[in-house]
Amino acid sequence: MNALEILTDMSRVKPYYQAIFSADSHMIIGYEVLARIETEDGVKSLGPFFHDPTVPIEFSLKVDDYVQTTALEYLLQNGEKTLLFINVNVNHILIDQDDDLMSRLITFRQKGLDLSQIVIEVTEHNVMGDMIKVATLCKNLKSMGVKIAIDDVGIGASNLDRIAMLEPDILKVDIHALKNQEHSTSYDGVLYSLALLSRKIGAELLFEAIEDSDQFHYSWNNNGRYYQGYFLAKPHHSFLEKNMFKDRFKKDIYEFILLERKKYQSEYGLSSQLNNQLETLIKGISFDQDSDRWMIKIAEHLASYCMRVYVTDDHGYQISSNAIKNNDSWMLNSDYKGRNWSWRPFFIENLVRMDEESRGILSDIYSDIETGEAVQTFSYRVADSSYLFIDIRVNQ
């Protein structure tokens, strides 16, 4: 179907609504408006039409106008207190002298629509014009009560500064696209940074394109407040009953909570086991200033998942070599002796915690700089101003 055929019979163009769920209420809290066309072969997405570079901008603006107006009209008539997520192409708006989006919203406000129900989705990474203009547009929309969501965060060349500049209420992360990128611990890192960023700027994370239970679990695990995707609900020609999936949602989340609890219980188990073991060991083999010799004596009693051991002082300077497990024996490597580790995340905080709480601390899982393996570090105060660090292989 070519662009002209679409334009000549606009009655076949329909907005479809894909439900968005909330982690806290388990209910549908909104819908993303998606353009569809009814054909002899069934309902088709208009995505290819909008992404076709040979389609003149005026054509796609016209279809966009039609879909948006129809959806806004539906929201107004329906009376449902739900959010409506509308995709806009910022590049089109920046060249649109008449500012159709703004005037359309004002018209609907006059008709009685509460604009705080509207979320405008903008894509930050493909903005061709001036970001200041986009930021101004977002500011103007927000002053009318409209919310701003940034689409496709985490794929393409997203720039955290530019995201923050738009002061969004919601960051939309395409979990499917993200997971299809090279699978490595790096996207855990991307999501972790996004979670921190969203917290700092007061935005919520919305995961979209969730296609299976694993992706749903992963999204929940990564601080997703809102969820969208075929796994939960397909785009539909009308709004759905907002409690429709509540029971199923609750059941899934219940499973996630059980798994998460198990994970933390086993971490606490490991941490207390290491605490007890070190307490006993150090009673028998008290710390001496020849830290390498002392450390090897300790290391020989440690379980096989311990791969690297070293000692630092209370300023984070490494006072021992690294003891490294090689097959069944421990080898010393003095390359890192004298290095300072105080710049590492939580380092100083953990030293203080060990002093205050008089027990060792198990870190979160991270990827080792040298080997790329998933590791955790257990740290333990062995004497005044001396701390033992044990790197542990995860999933052994």
Any contact of residue 252 with Ca ion (CB under 5 A)?
Answer: no
Sole window of 151-159, 227-235, 283-291, 313-321 interacting with Ca ion (rule: CB under 5 A): 151-159
> Which of 151, 169, 204, 252 forms a contact with Ca ion (CB under 5 A)?
151
The nearest distance, CB 238 to Ca ion, in angstroms, is 19
Sole window of 82-90, 173-181, 231-239, 374-382 interacting with Ca ion (rule: CB under 5 A): 82-90
Any contact of residue 377 with Ca ion (CB under 5 A)?
Answer: no
Lay out the site mask for Ca ion across 32-71 (x = CB under 5 A, - = otherwise). ----------------------------------------
Cβ closest to Ca ion, residue 122 vs residue 274: 122
Any contact of residue 87 with Ca ion (CB under 5 A)?
Answer: yes
d(CA 281, CA 298): 7
Dihedral-angle region of residue 257 (phi above 0 means left; psi in -120 to 50 means alpha; beta otherwise): alpha
Tokens standing for 202? 């007061």
d(CA 37, CA 39): 6
Residues 258-297 interacting with Ca ion (rule: CB under 5 A): none
User: Which DSSP symbol is given to 289?
Assistant: S
Sole window of 146-154, 224-232, 292-300, 369-377 interacting with Ca ion (rule: CB under 5 A): 146-154
The nearest distance, CB 151 to Ca ion, in angstroms, is 4
Dihedral-angle region of residue 346 (phi above 0 means left; psi in -120 to 50 means alpha; beta otherwise): left
The nearest distance, CB 160 to Ca ion, in angstroms, is 20
d(CA 114, CA 122): 20
Q: Where are the alpha helices (DSSP H) in the chain?
A: 3-8, 47-51, 57-78, 90-95, 100-110, 131-143, 160-165, 175-180, 186-201, 213-221, 246-284, 291-299, 347-357
Look up residue 190 and give its amino acid. V
Lay out the site mask for Ca ion across 93-132 (x = CB under 5 A, - = otherwise). ----------------------------x-----------
Answer for the pair 118, 86: CB distance below 8 angstroms, yes or no.
yes
The nearest distance, CB 307 to Ca ion, in angstroms, is 44
The nearest distance, CB 30 to Ca ion, in angstroms, is 12
Report the DSSP beta bridge partners of residue 329.
Answer: 326
Cβ closest to Ca ion, residue 50 vs residue 317: 50
Sites of contact with Ca ion (CB under 5 A): 87, 121, 151
